[in-house]
Structure 1
Amino acid sequence: MTGEGRVKILVGYVPTAEGEAALDAAAAEAKLRGASVLLLNTSRGDSYIDTRYANQAELDAAQARLRELGVEVTIQQAVSSGDVAHELLKAAEAKDVKLIVLGLRRRSPVGKLILGSTAQRVLLESPVPVLAVKVPSPRD
């Protein structure tokens, strides 16, 4: 199965340790399922300031990494109006993905209490399964 007929996995990618962990997990799932990966990188609205908005070299490196593993990848970048969860969910629906992969960062107890985050919204609102990948801390 190739191209458009292939199952798609959406990975929310940012050029951070969390994003790299999500990329690795998406690659492993794609190989397991014979799927392709849709890598979505989006900004909260200001691509010139937001360090989560990947530059071309970062996107090229992510693409090369997946292709070296034999995974077909499509890259999509979007500047959102500040609602990254909406962009991820919209892409999942429009591209008919079967799995969303997100990287999570460790949060303090207070951070967990006010977790009005992208990951929480995607986990709660996604119509497809979501794989949340945590970056291990040095003490894990």
Structure 2
Amino acid sequence: MIVVGYLATREGRQGIASAVDEAARRKTALTIVVSEKAAGLTDEARTERDSELEVISSDATRRGVEVDVQVLSQRHDVAEDLVAVAQETNAELIVIGLRRRSPVGKLILGSNAQRILLDAPCPVLAVKTERAR
């Protein structure tokens, strides 16, 4: 089982694409974790997100990857949700997308990414987006 978080960002989409690739390569299932605050999304945004997740799931299924989408609204934050789901599913890998940082920003890793790396019960694959040319 591979676990990845859903974020509607370039980095989040790269994380999911890499997680699907890795799940296909390993011939294992994929769990996509959606951390949602109960009142955080409009109906329009939720519909847009659900449509994107349906496309991702369909594409992964065509590649032979079984996908489970877990929408979590009762937990605390993205890092905690990913680590908890990885523990609950006995995941073999967590995949996260990283954003590029300025030279000063490189001194520190994003707090969610850092917490996932430190608290994960399994290896973590951190991927960056393709550099714009």
The TM-score with structure 2 as length reference comes to 0.84
Please give the alpha-carbon distance, in whole angstroms, between the structure 2 residues aligned to 1:18 and 1:46: 24
Structure 2: give runs of 5+ residues left out of the alignment: none
Relative CO higher for 1 or 2, CA cutoff 8 Å, sep ≥ 6?
2
SS in 2 for 1:55: helix
**What root-mean-square deviation, in Å, do the aligned CA atoms of Structure 1 and Structure 2 show?**
2.5
How do 1:118-137 and structure 2 match up within 5 A? 118-137=112-131
1:43 to 15, 23, 36: 36
Please give the alpha-carbon distance, in whole angstroms, between the structure 2 residues aligned to 1:21 and 1:55: 16
**Residues 46 and 79 of structure 1 are in contact (CA less than 8 Å); yes or no, is this contact kept in structure 2?**
no
Deviation at 1:75, TM superposition (A): 0.3
Q: Are 1:84 and 2:78 counterparts?
A: yes
Size of the aligned set, in residue pairs, is 131
Please give the alpha-carbon distance, in whole angstroms, between the structure 2 residues aligned to 1:29 and 1:77: 22
The structure richer in helix per residue is 2
Deviation at 1:43, TM superposition (A): 3.3
Please give the alpha-carbon distance, in whole angstroms, between the structure 2 residues aligned to 1:137 and 1:65: 24
Give the letter for the 2:106 counterpart.
Answer: K
How do 1:6-17 and structure 2 match up within 5 A? 8-17=1-10
Please give the alpha-carbon distance, in whole angstroms, between the structure 2 residues aligned to 1:82 and 1:108: 28
SS in 1 for 2:104: helix
The TM-score with structure 1 as length reference comes to 0.80
Structure 1: give runs of 5+ residues left out of the alignment: 1-7
Partner of 2:53: 59
SS in 2 for 1:123: helix
Question: Which aligned runs of 4 or more in structure 1 are off by greater than 2 angstroms?
Answer: 43-47, 79-83, 109-116
